Structure 1
């Protein structure tokens, strides 16, 4: 039986540790050639040691018989994002899948959140998704216009914080919610060029969540499976990044342990239309009635 991603070239951002590393290894195990991007920063985005985590992952892949190349550029810059795509094309002659995963945290309650902490987190998560997507899509559009329609895939990384919000993470929650909007727009715009774009909202133990998910969880049947291992999320990412996911685009999947959920997002709920402008004193009663007919809002994480 052939491997799912045999011959495909996959670029994974933030792939030196945690989820990104797990994704890179999983793609390689399925036959992909992997461009392993990681800037090597600390949890808060400050520069770490000179020992490149991207290079370590490349070494792991090669030791297992796979093909990979390290990329240390900052994908939240135009030059870094462009060089990521160039690295795939120059090394392997093509790019088939982009997994946007890079990110870090600077958690504060809103009243204590500095402007620099807001800008840094929004930059790496949201801009760090937009720029690689932009440069990869420009390549795929050119291929499609040249008569070489790609079978291209993009997997973006959001979060439960982007779906519901999370106390102390206003910057992170806003960025992750923005990634969901970006995913929907990209899926609608790029389908004509053979590009599918989806997002995941993973729950796993990484540097960013190790305090939240410190304990090993077991399977419902009593098995000894670690439900918070990042490797649990990667099979879904590999499938979304493969040709086998044909027809799936503009969707958001929540993944945790052995559970996969299709998230349905904002949909129109109870509605009233009087056919004319409302008076302020009338709106309250109408809104309260509609809220009584609506489902309960999801709780913000941490409340």
Structure 2
């Protein structure tokens, strides 16, 4: 029986534990050869000396699949380039990139240090960029050589990035950046046969345990079937989207969109310029009433997590 991902080659970052591990196992189960990346760090991003990727590889091979381990730091530009090269050299190409690696340094905004901010932004946002940059360059070269691949990227955002989360300003900013990066990458890489989507997974992992009651949360593997489909050839018509996965519930996030608007009717010199006419701009004294009218007309934003 043909499997969903037969003959396809995948990289999954941060795949030694939790959601990333579940993704790697699911992709392999559907026939993909998987490069299992994990830098081996603690929840806060500190080195542990462990090699959890090896255990995942062993599980995949024991089940009859194909996998190799990789311990690269995905936010290191040279390391991320070498990770892409490892997939190409080992398996003859690259079809799937699942960007999952990350850690948290939860802190209220006014208590967050510069080092904590830089570390979280680096692994989440720069890590996504670096992997996209090198994989995208390889796919572009393949397309220009007449070997366009049905390539798929699945990024990892979060409800914290889409709705915000109290005590997670840095993590929320990084995950919001990933959602924006997904939109741009989908447009820029589409010409090379690449689709780029993101998921906002909900799961009980070491990242969520301890922060709040996780007893009713979905398991990491509950997210992975969606990733497997997004990684398949069948998903070619879906790109630039963010999907929240909460157990059995799958939600298409709509994100930022233009809402109600108002147009200034006053000229820059204070004279009547006509609504939206040449030289028209807002008088500061009129802005408050206009903004309040727009807020009243628009739907209320979803509440920030923890508010």
Could you tell me the TM-score, scaled by structure 2's length? 0.94
Matched residue, 2:246 = 256
| Unaligned stretches of 5+ residues in structure 1 | 218-226
Question: What's the RMSD between the two structures over aligned residues?
Answer: 1.0
Tell me how far 1:80 sits from its aligned partner: 1.0
Distance in 1 (CA, whole Å) between partners of 2:39 and 2:241 is 28
Tell me how far 1:47 sits from its aligned partner: 0.4
Asked if 1:243 corresponds to 2:242, the answer is no
- Equivalent of residue 270 in structure 1, options 251, 255, 260: 260
Tell me how far 1:213 sits from its aligned partner: 6.0
Distance in 2 (CA, whole Å) between partners of 1:188 and 1:235 is 25
Distance in 2 (CA, whole Å) between partners of 1:287 and 1:51 is 54
Matched residue, 1:76 = 75
Tell me how far 1:4 sits from its aligned partner: 0.3
Query: Which deviations, in whole Å up to 9, do the C-alpha atoms of 1:32-65 show, x marking residues without a partner?
Result: 00000000000000001x3310001000101111
Aligned-partner SS, 1:247: coil
Matched residue, 2:30 = 30
Asked if 1:124 corresponds to 2:114, the answer is no
- C-alpha contact (below 8 Å) 1:73/1:81 kept by paired residues: yes
Matched residue, 1:7 = 7
Runs of 4+ in 1 over 2 A off after TM superposition: 211-217
Taking the TM superposition and a 5 Å limit, the aligned residue runs for 1:1-303 are 1-48=1-48, 50-212=49-211, 214-217=213-216, 227-274=217-264, 275=276, 276-303=280-307
Larger Rg: 2
Tell me how far 1:215 sits from its aligned partner: 4.2
- C-alpha contact (below 8 Å) 2:102/2:124 kept by paired residues: yes
- C-alpha contact (below 8 Å) 2:260/2:298 kept by paired residues: yes
- Aligned pair count reads 293
Distance in 2 (CA, whole Å) between partners of 1:4 and 1:213 is 36
- C-alpha contact (below 8 Å) 1:157/1:179 kept by paired residues: yes
